[in-house]
């Protein structure tokens, strides 16, 4: 099992490049199931979840060719419209194939999602929406079975709560449905807009992506397309925080500044200097210790829950007391205990964490519990006194492409130990 060894106390400087968004690439890969023609996706990150999705597409019957960051999917025949447990048990995004499979083939069998233990992501929202489109749904033995032998039909779909993957799943199901589908209380995340952009290139008729109401007019058939995935805003935000925490001077390249407004506003409030340099770059500088600033996680365009753990790590070394309120997932403070092992002062009260900044964190051996928690521990290790060892970094490999190499290129004292590192030798 791989670990990261981190020597803290080194300011980050120079440049670091952001990869394509994992949370955009996953639904894009699933969307390729909607046509028999080739779909070419560019800027696909080499992370574990992507590899899992590619294996799933092959199992279903699609051809998958990987050439660096470009992936070509050709789903001519879908002989096995199923997402088996053994393939998807480590990935939350397995439910993304439910909509395109039942939309194109009239049937799908998908294992209940696995992945990070950060709280409930109820698939009942997906299921209820697909039922409104005419699918017959049953559940048994840990699987969701969906059938629509006569095809799906357009309908009004209203989500009781905002769900990103639910919006994406229904969007993919609706593009081949008979008639018009209106999705109300839809997620507005950039990843949803990116999926809609791909589907439109494939011949879908979609209006309103990026707003809370999306209208889809079903078409009989989709065709192939080429599409470049948007930059990963969570990776970009992680690097912004790293630059500020280490009191460095770091330029984040290949990012989309407009996707980071909520984070940038809070970091500026805390004393970080962040400026846009060109249309796709941000530069962060922090000559002194940051000041505490409160956050509350919200759906986009609010503060992203996927940056909450990293932000907490930054607040552990800031002046003053900050209140961090988590409204999206009910079990997303597991990193707090590991940060406390490094000397952080944190009190958890329900969905709120109260963080009192300390003069310095100290290196320790810590364990990653999920994808974003592992990133927070890496960030804490970058500023801690002495050596930090982060175990179970397979979590971070699910969503960050070569993060240790990128950080090391900016001056961080970080190296990987274990099987992956040995394989590179």
Instruction: List pLDDT tens digits, range 329-361.
Output: 777 798 999 999 999 999 999 999 999 999 999
Assigned token pair, 190: 């950039």
Cβ-contact 403, 46 below 8 angstroms: no
CA distance 268 to 208: 32
Pick the CATH number of 22-228 from 3.65.10.10, 1.10.3720.10, 3.40.50.1820, 3.40.630.30: 3.65.10.10
How is 236-260 classified by DSSP, letter by letter? HHHHHHHHHHTT-EEEEES--GGGG
CA distances 329 to 296, 322, 336, Å, are 12, 19, 15
Q: What's the pLDDT at 26?
A: 97
Cβ-contact 187, 300 below 8 angstroms: yes
Q: What's the pLDDT at 224?
A: 98
Does the fold of domain 22-228 match that of domain 3-19+231-424? yes
Assigned token pair, 193: 């807009």
Assigned token pair, 192: 């949803």
CA distance 401 to 410: 15
**Catalytic site residue from 91, 116, 144, 344:** 116
Q: What's the pLDDT at 164?
A: 94
Q: What's the pLDDT at 137?
A: 92
Q: What's the pLDDT at 310?
A: 97
Q: How is the chain split into domains, by residue range?
A: 3-19+231-424, 22-228
Q: What's the pLDDT at 153?
A: 98
CA distance 158 to 173: 15
- DSSP H helices, 79-204, are 85-88, 98-105, 124-132, 164-174, 190-201
Cβ-contact 92, 115 below 8 angstroms: yes
CA distance 264 to 285: 12
Q: What's the pLDDT at 113?
A: 63
Which residues of the chain, if any, have pLDDT below 50?
115-120, 422-425
CA distance 263 to 301: 10
Q: Mark whether 116 is an active-site residue.
A: yes
Strand partners for 295: 324
CATH architecture of 3-19+231-424: Alpha-beta prism (3.65)
């Amino acid at each position: 099992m791989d670990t990261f060894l981190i020597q803290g106390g080194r300011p980050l400087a120079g440049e670091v490049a952001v990869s394509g968004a994992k949370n955009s690439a996953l639904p894009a890969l699933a969307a390729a199931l909607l046509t028999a023609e080739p779909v070419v996706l560019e800027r696909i990150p080499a992370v574990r979840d992507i590899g899992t999705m590619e294996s799933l597409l092959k199992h279903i019957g699609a051809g998958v060719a990987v050439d660096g960051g470009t992936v070509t999917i050709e789903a001519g025949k879908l002989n096995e419209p199923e997402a088996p447990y053994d393939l998807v048990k480590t990935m939350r995004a397995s439910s993304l194939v439910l909509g395109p499979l039942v939309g194109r083939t009239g049937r799908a069998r998908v294992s209940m999602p696995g992945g990070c233990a950060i709280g409930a992501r109820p698939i009942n929202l997906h299921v209820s929406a697909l039922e409104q489109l005419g699918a017959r749904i049953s559940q048994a033995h840990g699987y969701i079975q969906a059938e629509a032998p006569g095809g799906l039909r357009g309908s009004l779909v209203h989500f009781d709560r905002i769900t990103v993957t639910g919006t994406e799943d229904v969007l993919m199901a609706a593009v081949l449905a008979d008639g018009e589908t209106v999705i109300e209380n839809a997620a507005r995340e950039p990843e949803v807009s990116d999926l809609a952009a791909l589907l439109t290139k494939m011949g879908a008729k979609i209006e309103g992506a990026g707003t809370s109401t999306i209208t889809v007019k079903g078409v009989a058939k989709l065709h192939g397309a080429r599409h470049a995935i948007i930059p990963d805003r969570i990776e970009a935000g992680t690097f912004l925080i790293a630059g500020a925490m280490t009191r460095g001077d770091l330029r984040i390249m290949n990012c989309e500044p407009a996707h980071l407004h909520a984070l940038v506003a809070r970091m500026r409030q805390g004393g970080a200097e962040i400026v846009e340099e060109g249309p796709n770059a941000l530069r962060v500088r922090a000559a002194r210790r940051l000041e505490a600033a409160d956050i509350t996680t919200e759906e986009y365009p609010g503060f992203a829950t996927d940056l909450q753990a990293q932000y907490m790590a930054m607040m552990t070394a800031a002046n003053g007391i900050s209140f961090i309120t988590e409204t999206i997932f009910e079990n997303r403070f597991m990193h707090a205990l590991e940060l406390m092992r490094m000397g952080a002062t944190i009190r958890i009260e329900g969905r709120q964490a109260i963080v009192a900044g300390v003069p310095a964190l100290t290196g320790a051996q810590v364990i990653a519990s999920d994808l974003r928690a592992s990133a927070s521990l890496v960030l804490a290790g970058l500023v801690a006194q002495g050596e930090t060892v982060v175990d179970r970094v397979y979590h971070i490999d699910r969503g960050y492409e070569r993060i240790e190499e990128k950080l090391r290129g900016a001056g961080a004292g970080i190296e990987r130990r274990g099987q992956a590192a040995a394989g590179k030798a």
